[in-house]
Amino acid sequence: MSDDLFMKIINREIPADIVYETDEVLAFRDIAPKAPTHILVIPKVHLRTVNDLESAHTELIGKLVLAATDLARQEGIAKEGYRLVMNCNPAGGQLVYHIHLHLLGGRQMRGLG
């Protein structure tokens, strides 16, 4: 777990622009934003990839999504629209192995092709 960068953000060992926090969820701005709004929503428990999710995590994943939709409203992008993305493993483009939901908005998103 020591190589878990996002756990270091949770533990305030490295700084981040935190925009939302509950007992179970943290959200902070991406260090290299790919859109005017680019926020990462993460659980506070260590889960490497979405492949590690089990039925016991159902409520937690719901909380991540609801945090993201709240943040989209706060950022003023809810009506225009936005994208939520979770990457998994190398072929999915995952770079940080602590699951995270990307909230991207503030510009027109292109197709996934």
Which residues carry out catalysis?
A: 100
Segment interacting with ligand 5GP, rule: CB under 6 A, options 30-38, 46-54, 70-78, 104-112: 30-38
Question: Under the criterion CB under 6 A, does residue 88 sit at the interface with ligand 5GP?
Answer: no
Centre a 10 Å sphere on the Cβ of residue 43 and count the other Cβ atoms it contains. 22
Straight-line distance from the first to the last Cα atom of the chain, in angstroms, rounded to the nearest whole number = 34
Q: Kindly tell me the burial class for residue 54, based on how many C-beta atoms sit within 10 Å of its own C-beta (0-12, 13-18, 19 or more).
A: exposed
> Of the candidates 3, 13, 32, 112, which one interacts with ligand 5GP according to CB under 6 A?
32
Q: Where on the chain is the footprint of ligand 5GP (CB under 6 A)? A: 5, 16, 28, 30-32, 40, 87, 93-96
